[in-house]
């Protein structure tokens, strides 16, 4: 497959020209003129001056107003789960709300204090004794039957 020296030289020159053509970047006309005249390359047009940008502010306000009108998607992952507690013993059933309401009644009726003063309730349910032990506001303790 080896050709003559003359054919090989033509093929090599063609390859060099092709590689040079492919490797050379394509320059804009202004850059070519600046390079040919040995002048600095002109800068690309940048962002608009502030005065011109001020004219576009109403359009920007319209765009932001449209974004504000768009519905916001909320994720469900951050919500606390719904909790339902039921206590069953001796063929009786009590919910969390039943026990808390009974404790609040003890605070209001047995202790004689207004419900607005009750800030913290700690309840301990002992089904085998059929009793609920309580601590109100961290200092008043006692029990009641359920």
In this prediction the pTM is: 0.45
- What's the pLDDT tens digit per position in 109-126? 999 999 999 999 999 999
Asked if the structure places residue 35 within a domain, the reply is no
Asked if the structure places residue 73 within a domain, the reply is no
Asked if the structure places residue 129 within a domain, the reply is yes
**Across 70-77, average pLDDT:** 62
Asked if the structure places residue 138 within a domain, the reply is yes
> Domain total for the chain?
1
Neighbours of 107 (CB within 10 A): 20
Q: What is the pLDDT of residue 9?
A: 57
Give me the phi and psi of 7, to 5 degrees please. -65, -40
Higher-pLDDT residue of 84, 71: 84
Asked if the structure places residue 132 within a domain, the reply is yes
pLDDT at residue 108 tops 90: yes
- The residue segments making up the domain with residue 103 are 86-145
Asked if the structure places residue 70 within a domain, the reply is no
Cβ burial 17-34 (10 Å sphere, 16+ → b, else e): eeeeeeeeeeeeeeeeee
Higher-pLDDT residue of 106, 47: 106
pLDDT band, residue 83 (cuts 50/70/90): confident
pLDDT at residue 137 tops 70: yes
Asked if the structure places residue 79 within a domain, the reply is no
**Across 16-44, average pLDDT:** 54
Instruction: Tell me the DSSP string of the chain.
Output: ----HHHHHHHHHHHHHHHHHHHSPP--HHHHHHHHTT-PPPPPP-SPPHHHHHHTHHHHHHHHHHHHHSPPP--STTSPPP---EEEETTEEEEHHHHHHHHHHIIIIIS---GGG---EEEEEEGGGTEEEEEETTTEEEEEE-
- What's the pLDDT tens digit per position in 55-69? 556 665 666 666 666
Give 145's strand partners. 131
């Amino acid at each position: 497959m080896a050709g003559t020296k003359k054919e090989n030289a033509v093929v090599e020159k063609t390859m060099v020209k092709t590689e040079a053509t492919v490797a050379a970047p394509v320059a804009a006309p202004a850059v070519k003129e600046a390079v040919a005249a040995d002048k600095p390359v002109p800068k690309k047009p940048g962002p608009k001056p502030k005065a011109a940008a001020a004219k576009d502010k109403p359009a920007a306000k319209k765009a932001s107003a449209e974004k504000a009108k768009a519905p916001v998607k909320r994720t469900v992952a951050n919500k606390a789960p719904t909790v339902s507690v039921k206590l069953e013993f001796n063929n009786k059933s009590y919910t969390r709300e039943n026990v808390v309401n009974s404790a609040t009644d003890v605070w209001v009726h047995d202790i004689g204090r207004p419900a607005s003063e009750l800030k913290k309730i700690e309840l301990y349910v002992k089904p085998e004794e059929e009793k609920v032990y309580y601590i109100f506001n961290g200092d008043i303790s006692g029990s009641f039957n359920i």
